[in-house]
Structure 1
């Protein structure tokens, strides 16, 4: 277990005083390795809170570069970084938020065998992508390696979050995606209001921390559905 420095004890004081976390939990977070796949709106929101919460190592994976239309919702990027790889832009911003953590940036599109090899190095994986094929590949890779997957999606003013631990008699992302048919609308086609990706990404970060510390009740077996237009939140039980 990685011990906290005096500076880290001060930085994370408001978390350490929580009975469910304490020093031991914060040291577990410092020893944790998490993979964030996709540094768009969801990934930017999730990774900044994982960074400030003290996750010891983050690997950022994305093959895209920053464009002007990203800046409305992808809060780690800015105008000075147009055409820069998103992972490099995000790494710059996250390092400024917390110098105590280790961040690796992978600017690459990985195929399924490469994803399987990569996810085995992590305690938790966050799916912050907007691509169904990649989501299914991540699901299969994490299922094979039994690595918890925190899945989020957002479009228009709507969001969804779930957790897949791949324990016995629990659902997979594939079983969830079948509930919604082949609808693969993207934000380019349907639009998205910026705060909804922040809400979903932040919930993903919260669930990732809970899963890693084994505290509370996570969203495994449940799909949280957020209707931002009417500010209604409901959940459905997922089939196994």
Structure 2
């Protein structure tokens, strides 16, 4: 059974109202982010950008309440409902990130706390989450909102977020060194970096690999006269 037009609009506006309330609370929490130092730039931009989303949600709610659903607006109404549900879901992501970076745990830096929390929430960087929301918000505003200032503000916010440096860039790999301090086999080293050989023996360097062999056994001529005399005495005693 399908919902009537009025029932459908009521469901959509209720979801928009809840989403606006949830994101408004999230935005209020994020207002304190500016006082936390040592974070990627994206998190500070989130703090100042989030408040525009509950404003947009309330504007969508008002627009849908005051306009009948038509054949042309049906898809836009459905998109507004999906956006409201997504907003509630992503508010949990923003809450988790804020709780992590504002915690008093001293074992990790603020940036490490952010990285750990983001990985627990799916691994997407915060600017990507916000960018998706702003893109959808701007599209809905174009179709359902009459406020030109709000439309312009959404576009400006999207442009700023789109230019942000990635907040979860890959860790820079350190310089690797493997050292061999004695005779014996030098194990294969598959990674990048230096392989250092510190004592006697041969160092072989091939294309993409290094290995080490120990010093060759001493030849007969390298023995001392004392060693030879001692060996001769031992042979005489055995006769």
Same fold (TM over 0.5): no
Please state which structure has a larger fraction of its residues in helix. 2
Q: Report the TM-score when normalising by structure 2.
A: 0.25
Q: Report the TM-score when normalising by structure 1.
A: 0.25
Please state which structure has a larger fraction of its residues in strand. 1
The structure showing larger relative contact order (alpha-carbon pairs under 8 Å, at least 6 residues apart) is 1
